[in-house]
Amino acid sequence: MMDCCENRTLSASSRRALLVGGASFAAWAFLPKFSRAADGRDPRLIVLILRGALDGLATVAPIGDPDYAPLHGSIALASDGPHAAIMLDPFFALHPSMGEFARMYREKHAAVIHAVATPYRDRSHFDGQDVLESGFAGPGRVQSGWLNRALEVLPKGGRVSGGLAVGATTPLVLRGAAPTVGWVPAALPQADDDTAARLIDLYQHRDPTLATALSQGLKLEKIALGDDMKPKPGTNNAGAMRQVSRGAAKLMVADDGPRIAALAFDGWDTHANEGGPVGRLAQLLSGLDGALGELESGLGERWRDTVVVVATEFGRTARINGTEGTDHGTGTVALLAGGAVKGGRVIADWPGLKAANLYEGRDLAPTCDLRAALKGVLRDHLGVSERVLAERVFPDSAQVKPMQGLIG
């Protein structure tokens, strides 16, 4: 999106780009429209990227592993006490801040994939996020993301067309040749209705195509925002996650709205004062949990055909550090939620936390390639073939087979 403060003089083509961008969803008028699938399904896929590296051992704690509590020390979760974790099964427990996800799990519409990682094995946030979002085995390979390449291979005019990027910049995962549009939750005062009407009237005479696009964009902007999306004093990161998800759901529930979306949430780098069952991570997880709840309530009946994938660039160290936090690690968790998820399960080939079993003597060892889970969702939820997944969506990944049975 262009910044009008940096553009003193605009050509006609630049003006078109600026106004279409400013209307957020005006570009949607130019995208191919959705047509309902013959089988009646109306699938939606939402990818939530947690930037900063999520502590998977504090999110879904292996409290049945005798080596867990000594390693995680004061921030370890426990099955009893005033801030007891939520038991998912006799071995794994969920952070107490994630009550909505726990409910979805009990309803068999949420699942956990543990000891998971991308192919990346170093600990740079920048490179780790590049690998997570590009879908390649190493960083710096391309300027497109696996979700956009998945959009490219879906049938035009089929059950899904076009993607929604939420935020000031389009996440790499959704960049590429397939058509996408962006929505940025308003941080500045919006033009009043009279100003907008005069702009539309002006362009009706000078640029009817843009006028149509601008009109549609403004209508969709109103849908996304609404009275409950007005900025609230003191809104923190957790509250922002909920608000952004609420707006995205309002747009995705529409019959002619987007079916695929990507949202990125920052701030998950918990080197210090991670806080265990209360504190900084608890606030972040509460925001993520609220975001999932907002997506469910906002999508309404559409939730039954929805999959939400929550992923992060890598995990954090198994051992607590000297500042009551955790450092950059490797294995972590991925979360699935939605009415289309075959849930109520923690999917894990558990490697154990004994010193000899830790990756490089410090991290939860990954036993599942995240691409296997993503392939399983794309194949069984959106119908992308295994060959196309291996060659185009996640290039050179034929050895990574799609995970079975993730979609109900």
Other beta carbons less than 10 A from residue 208's beta carbon = 10
Tell me the pLDDT tens digit for each residue of 254-308: 888 889 999 999 999 999 999 988 889 999 999 999 999 999 999 999 999 999 9
Count of other CB atoms within 10 angstroms of residue 228: 10
**What is the per-residue pLDDT for 14?**
35
Provide the b/e sequence for 369-408 (b: ≥16 CB within 10 Å): bbbbbbbbbbbbbbbbeeebbbebbbbebeebebbeebbb
Contact 20, 214 (CB under 8 A): yes
Tokens of 191: 């033009």
Residue 233, phi-psi category: left (phi > 0), alpha (psi -120 to 50), beta (remainder): beta
| 8 A C-beta contact, residue 104 and residue 292 | yes
Q: Please provide the distance, in angstroms rounded to a whole number, between the alpha carbons at the two ends of the chain.
A: 38
Question: Which CATH class name applies to 16-29+39-393?
Answer: alpha beta
pLDDT at 213: 53
Q: Cα separation of 255 and 277, whole Å?
A: 40
Counted residue by residue, the chain has a size of 408
Q: Which residue has the tokens 């609230």?
A: 232
Domain ranges of the chain: 16-29+39-393
Q: What is the DSSP letter of 354?
A: S
Instruction: Extract the tokens encoding 201.
Output: 């009237």
For residue 127, the one-letter residue type is D
Q: Tell me which amino acid residue 52 is.
A: G
- The closest alpha carbon to 368, from 285, 284, 311, belongs to 311
pLDDT by residue for the chain (408 residues), tens digit each? 323 333 333 334 333 333 333 334 444 444 544 444 556 778 999 999 999 999 999 999 999 999 999 999 999 999 998 899 999 999 999 999 999 999 999 999 999 999 999 999 999 999 999 999 999 999 987 889 999 999 999 876 555 557 999 987 899 999 999 988 888 776 434 444 555 555 556 556 666 665 565 555 555 555 555 545 444 444 467 889 999 999 999 999 988 888 999 999 999 999 999 998 888 999 999 999 999 999 999 999 999 999 999 999 999 999 999 999 999 999 999 999 999 999 999 999 999 999 999 999 999 999 999 999 999 999 999 999 999 999 999 999 999 999 999 999
Q: By three-state DSSP, how is residue 365 classified?
A: coil
Give the CA-trace dihedral at 32, 36, 38, 41, to 10 degrees: 120
Q: Using the 8-state DSSP alphabet, how is residue 328 labeled?
A: B
**DSSP one-letter string for 56-79:** HHHHEE-TTSTTHHHHHGGG---S
Query: Residue 383 has what DSSP assignment?
Result: -
Phi first, then psi, for residue 190 (nearest 5°) are -90, 155
Q: Evaluate the CA torsion angle 227, 230, 236, 237 in order and state its sign.
A: positive
Whole-number pLDDT of residue 228? 52
pLDDT in tens, 281-291: 999 999 999 99
Contact indicator for 186, 32 with CB cutoff of 8 Å? no
* The pLDDT value given to residue 30: 45
Closest CA to 243 of 191, 193, 183, 301: 183
Closest by CA position to 77, among listed 289, 283, 266, 274: 274
Could you tell me which residues come within 8 angstroms of residue 302 by beta carbon, excluding any fewer than 6 positions away? 42, 44, 252, 253
Burial grade of 143 (CB within 10 A; 0-12, 13-18, 19 or more): exposed
Question: To which residue do tokens 């949607």 refer?
Answer: 28
Tokens encoding 304: 């039954």
- Give CA–CA dist 56/53, Å, rounded: 9
Mention every residue, 6+ apart, whose C-beta is less than 8 A from residue 96: 77, 83, 84, 85, 86, 277, 282
